């Protein structure tokens, strides 16, 4: 675990490890930890990892991410591992789960989808056709979603 | 593959995409439509849907589809209420959700046509009464596919093993996409005839081939006529093209005349979802092959069968007796 020493251990908070290399910024965006908060965040990118070649690691201090928040990561980092840290040690490990449908996590990116009218009240729903490779389709219009675009359409 | 239409938790009674129907269900509906033919053409009166009200919601115009649903409902003794979107609450910016709540209260079944894709599934999720999709943007139009299948089976007795030639705009046309998906489920062979710029999208062609079907692409209509069992012509729509020049290159590229059909098999039929522009010359109308007006009429018995199915009304073996 030599790469973990690149950033100091945190006292309390959440560590998201094994993020695909280069995706940590998108992960931050999806977790919405990049805006409106003052928690210290450490980010390491492109560190060598036996398992995945290279990986990114994200440490968020003084905040324990909920399962619901973490499940958002299934979109870009389905194999990330998550540890909740309390008093410098791992208190809980959490798995990211990709359900069969993502409800109100991201909006469909198709310009002519009925859900583009922001006043329509029904939830945004994306159906999981396949987890690997990730294939998501809007439950209303049926369009396949580009994962890059989805990061921009997080609710 | 999976039934997109079932996602919203609605019942068996909606029809949003062709994926909502199994092959057996498709054949059952076609059988029921055949039994309803004498009702559709007015020879027999069978008030199977008496007391039922259809809400016809056309957020964009489609005279043929709207009228055939209306005719189907009325021939079966039902009533129709129409939404006219001009000057209504819709024009005042009402959400689709709110409009559908109103329709839920006024009718027993809703038919919706909407310019936005996904509108039919959204409506089905929003209300409890059955919803039939009559076209959502570039998405699905399953009742058109059903009437096309009905017309083909009526002429050939079966859907299996036919050589169906699809001609024209195969790139944007949802009609041909949906029909070709349905046909390969029944083992049809497809010949796709289009100009290079309007070829069927490669992912759709791949999808069709993955069903084990024989799919041939060509730019040449004349060479495809002799072996065809069905020639399905479509209109090349001007509004699909970014500029006049691109349109001019392909406009009028396929013009079928009666003379072209001299090499055709006796039982070959020519279909078209209509309206046509100049892709089928009027000289074809009087040949034994022309089937497009019959096809338009077939919208009535097919939609009758679909209305009955969604409303849980059995079509008797002997209608009107
Ligand atoms: Zn959509």
> Which are the contacts of A138, defined by CB distance < 8 A and separation ≥ 6?
A108, A110, A113, A115, A125, A126, A127, A145, B118
Residue of B nearest to A100 (CA): B7
| Model confidence pLDDT, tens digit, residues A47-62 | 988 766 899 999 999 9
Confidence check: pLDDT of B56 > 80: yes
Could you give all domains of chain A from N- to C-terminal order, each with its CATH number? 13-94 (3.30.70.140), 101-152 (2.30.30.20)
How confident is the model over A81-126, as pLDDT tens digits?
A: 999 999 999 999 988 888 888 888 889 999 999 999 999 999 999 9
Question: Considering only CB atoms, which chain A residues are within 8 Å of B2?
Answer: 129
Residue B296's pLDDT is 96
Domain covering B18-140+299-310 assigned CATH 3.40.50.1370 in the classification: yes
Contact residues of B toward A, CB < 8 A: 2, 4, 7-8, 17, 93, 95-97, 114-119, 121-122, 125-126, 136-140
CA atoms within 13 A on the CB side of A122: 25
Q: Could you tell me which residue, A102 or B70, shows the higher pLDDT?
A: B70
A137 with B17: Cβ contact below 8 A: no
pLDDT at A6 over 50: yes
Q: Which residues belong to CATH 3.40.50.1370 in chain B?
A: 18-140+299-310, 142-297
CA of A141 to the centre of ligand 1 (A): 4
Structure tokens given for B4: 């997109």
Instruction: Kindly determine whether residue B116 and residue A114, on different chains, have CB atoms separated by under 8 Å.
Output: yes
Confidence (pTM):
0.85
CB pair distance less than 8 Å for B4 and A142: yes
Report residue B229 CA to chain centroid gap: 19
DSSP assignments along A55-111, one per residue: EEEEEEET----HHHHHGGGGT-TT-EEEEEETTEEEEEE-----SEEESSB----T
Check whether A1 has a pLDDT greater than 50. Answer: no
Which one has a higher pLDDT value, B2 or B59?
A: B59
CB pairs under 8 A between A and B: 70
Residue of A nearest to B140 (CA): A141
Q: How close A20 comes to chain B (CA, Å)?
A: 28
| SS3 assignment, position B170 | coil
Q: Which ipTM did the prediction report?
A: 0.86
The yes/no answer on whether domain B142-297 falls in CATH 3.20.10.10 is: no
The minimal CB distance from B7 to the residues A116, A117, A139 is found for A139
Contacts of A61 (CB under 8 A, 6+ apart): A10, A11, A12, A13, A39, A40, A41, A42
Task: Report which of residues B28 and B250 the model is more confident about.
Answer: B28
**Each residue's pLDDT tens digit, B294-312:** 999 999 999 999 999 999 9
Disruptive mutation site among B2, B121, B174 for chain A (greatest number of A CBs within 10 Å): B121
A122 contacts in chain B (CB < 8 Å):
97, 122, 125-126
């Amino acid at each position: 675990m030599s790469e973990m020493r690149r950033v100091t251990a945190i006292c309390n908070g959440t560590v998201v490890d094994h993020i695909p290399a280069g995706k940590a910024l998108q992960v931050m965006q999806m977790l919405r930890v990049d805006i409106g908060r003052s928690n210290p965040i450490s980010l390491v990118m492109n560190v060598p990892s036996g398992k995945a070649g290279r990986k990114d690691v994200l440490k968020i201090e003084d905040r324990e991410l909920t399962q619901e928040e973490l499940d958002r990561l299934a979109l870009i980092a389905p194999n990330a591992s998550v540890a909740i840290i309390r008093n410098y040690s791992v208190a809980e490990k959490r798995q990211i789960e990709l359900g069969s449908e993502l409800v109100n996590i991201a909006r469909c990116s198709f310009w002519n989808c009925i859900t583009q009218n922001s006043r329509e009240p029904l939830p945004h729903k994306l159906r999981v056709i396949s987890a690997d490779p990730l294939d998501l389709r809007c439950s209303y219009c049926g369009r396949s979603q580009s994962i890059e675009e989805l990061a921009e359409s997080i609710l | 593959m999976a039934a997109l239409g079932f996602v919203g938790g609605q019942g068996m009674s909606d029809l949003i995409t062709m994926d909502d129907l199994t092959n057996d269900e498709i054949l059952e509906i076609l059988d029921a439509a055949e039994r309803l033919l004498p009702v559709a053409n007015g020879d027999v009166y069978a008030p199977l849907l008496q007391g039922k009200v259809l809400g016809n919601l056309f957020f964009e115009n489609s005279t043929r589809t709207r009228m055939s649903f209306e005719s189907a409902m009325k021939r079966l003794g039902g009533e129709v209420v129409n939404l006219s979107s001009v000057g209504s609450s819709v024009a005042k910016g009402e959400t689709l959700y709110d409009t559908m709540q109103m329709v839920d209260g006024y009718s027993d079944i809703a038919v919706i046509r909407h310019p936005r894709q996904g509108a039919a599934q959204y409506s089905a999720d929003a209300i409890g009464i059955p919803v039939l999709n009559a076209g959502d943007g570039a998405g699905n139009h399953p009742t058109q596919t059903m009437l096309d299948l009905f017309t083909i089976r009526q002429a050939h007795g079966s859907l299996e093993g036919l050589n169906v030639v699809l001609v024209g705009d195969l790139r944007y046309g949802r009609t041909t996409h949906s029909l070709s998906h349905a046909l390969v489920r029944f083992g049809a062979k497809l010949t796709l005839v289009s100009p290079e710029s309007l070829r069927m999208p490669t992912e759709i062609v791949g999808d069709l081939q993955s069903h084990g079907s024989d799919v041939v692409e060509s730019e040449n209509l004349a060479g495809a006529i002799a072996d065809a069992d069905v020639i399905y012509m479509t209109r090349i729509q001007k509004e699909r093209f970014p500029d006049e020049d691109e349109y001019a290159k392909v406009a009028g590229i396929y013009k079928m005349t009666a003379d072209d059909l001299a090499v055709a098999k006796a039982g070959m039929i020519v279909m078209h979802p209509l309206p046509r522009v100049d892709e089928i010359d009027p000289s074809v109308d009087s040949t034994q092959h022309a089937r497009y007006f019959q096809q338009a009429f077939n919208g009535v018995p097919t939609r009758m069968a679909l209305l009955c199915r969604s409303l849980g009304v059995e079509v008797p073996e002997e209608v009107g007796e």
